Structure 1
Amino acid sequence: MFAKQFISNEIFPLKKSDSAESALLFMEDWQVKQLPIVESGKVVGFVREKSLLDKEDQKVELLMDQQTEVYTVHEHTHIFEIWGKMNTYEFNTLAVVNADTIYQGVISVKDLSLVSFAHSALTQEGSIIVIEVSAIQYSVAEISRICESNEAKIIHLMIESLKDADNTLHVSIKLNKLYLTHVLASLERFGYSIVYTNSPTDPNHSLDDRYTWLVKYLNT
């Protein structure tokens, strides 16, 4: 999944001659915090919402940041790199350019989230497990082996650091199976603490099971 797949059809760039007031109105309408400034097909800079406040009568040319390499991504940039750049610079938009640095469009966090979710494994059928493990003991290879030994495959995985003294991790795993009784038992046998699952281990008591796991997860 690459940058060109996430270009918005609704967000347009600014011109140097645009006023800060106009830029702020566009940002409010599109719910973004940055916009590129494009001249002759090239990104010449970008403006942030905070740099425009109380300067509505000025032109964006006087207020723009010219570090275009910070704000642009190539059209073949992978989604993981896009998320990384947005997180690093606290952007909720990025400008996309081609190999000749010609402006192609804008990516917004909103569109990126919607499209990437629609194409992600999170929409596939299956159940979720959250396990607790120390960072030093974490091994995706071992977790995958345990799951696959019980005929379940990992289709999505996320890691959350609890930032405690023990460097504890919560590992959220989406598996391609609905009923995970054997997977859960195997993980616990290998010393993993199960803090949450939405798998209906017993069809007759699935709601009770889910509630128990949810309470356990919220109390960790």
Structure 2
Amino acid sequence: MQAFEFINNLIPPLKLTDKTKMALAWMEEIRTDRLPVVDQGKFLGLLSEEMIYEINDPEKSIGEIEPDQTDCWVFSDKHIYDVLKASSEFDSNIVAVVDRELTYMGVVTMEDAIAAFADSLSIQSQGSVMILSMNMTDYSLAEIARIVESENTKILSSFMTSDPLDDAKIKLTLKLDQPEPRHIKATFERFGYKILDHYQEETGISSEEDRIGNLLRFLDI
């Protein structure tokens, strides 16, 4: 699940000698709103479609434009989670990947990163999702797993986020291998856990859009 494994080779880098009209043509062809700018193997930043339209000069060379988001990159050996983090931080649908010598290797798209992250969280596996709320001091995955397994169910994956309304609390999202979570919900409530939400996943998921939708629901976004 390292970043270099998901580099999209269909997205070309812009050279300083390229013209803005060519950059726009590439963006339209590959359906992106920004491209990486690279010089002598070094990542300089991202050039957006909006920046080019503001310049309004199709013959202007890329070298005459100051690229944006110069820090929107990750090391090639970083986890795909770091790609998603950088994408969110810089509000960019592509993230550059460099090696430990800071040599440019390519970019990972947000779509590819989400698809990879969804696979790592067992999003495609049949089952159900349950979201619990608790104090951070009360969190014990071993205890939670014991409760789940007492109902002949397994935790396929879990995801923890802080509660935006209370810094002392967390929200724990569980992906379970059983499609019907009602009896597990009842068991959690018997042990004093607060259930924020739970749902049974649809079967027959096949499209990339459905997979991304499932991930966003799993992350409670």
TM-score (norm 1): 0.74
Q: Which runs of 5+ in 2 are unaligned?
A: 202-221
Note the residue ranges of structure 1 that are not aligned, 5 or more in a row: 201-220
Alpha-carbon distance, 1:109 to partner: 0.5
Aligned equivalent of 1:206 = none
Structure 1 Cα separation of the partners of residues 142 and 110 of structure 2: 31
Structure 2 distance, partners of 1:172, 1:55, is 46
Match of 2:29 in 1: 29
For the residues of structure 2 that align with 1:118 and 1:39, how far apart are their CA atoms?
34
Q: Give the whole-Å Cα distance in 1 for the aligned partners of 2:200 and 2:95.
A: 38
* 1:196, distance to aligned residue in structure 2 (A): 3.5
Range with bigger deviation, 10-19 or 156-165: 156-165
Match of residue 62, structure 1, among 49, 61, 64 = 64
Task: Identify which range, 24-33 or 1-10, moves more after superposition.
Answer: 24-33
**Aligned-partner residue type, residue 32 of structure 1:** T
Q: Which moved more, 1:22-31 or 1:85-94?
A: 22-31
How many residue pairs get matched?
199
Asked if 1:158 corresponds to 2:159, the answer is yes
The one-letter code of the counterpart of 2:20 is A
- Is the 2:128–2:178 contact (alpha carbons within 8 Å) kept by the matching residues of 1? yes
Match of 2:19 in 1: 19
Q: What's the offset of the Cα at 1:16?
A: 0.7
Shift of 1:12: 0.8
Deviations along 1:167-215, one digit per CA (max 9) or x if unpaired, are 7655332112334454222201122233433359xxxxxxxxxxxxxxx
Contact preservation (8 Å) 1:19, 1:56? no
Amino acid at match of 2:62: V
Amino acid of the structure 2 residue aligned with 1:15:
K
Distance 1:199 1:111, change over 3 A: closer
1:140 and 1:49, CA in 2 relative to 1: closer, same or farther beyond 3 A? farther
Show the 5 A alignment for 1:120-139: 120-133=121-134, 137-139=138-140
| 3-state SS of paired residue (2:123) | helix
| Structure whose CA Rg is larger | 1
Determine if contact 1:33/1:91 at 8 Å carries over to the other structure. no
Question: Residue type matched to 2:174 in 1?
Answer: I
> Residues 8 and 185 (structure 1 numbering): CA distance in 2 closer, same or farther, change over 3 Å?
same
3-state DSSP class of the match of 1:116?
helix
Aligned-partner Cα distance in 2 for 1:87–1:166: 21
CA distance in 2, matches of 1:166, 1:5: 35
Specify the alignment match of 1:71 in structure 2: 72
1:47 deviates by: 1.8
Deviation at 1:121, TM superposition (A): 0.7
Say if 1:134 and 1:166, in contact at 8 Å, map to a contact too.
Answer: no
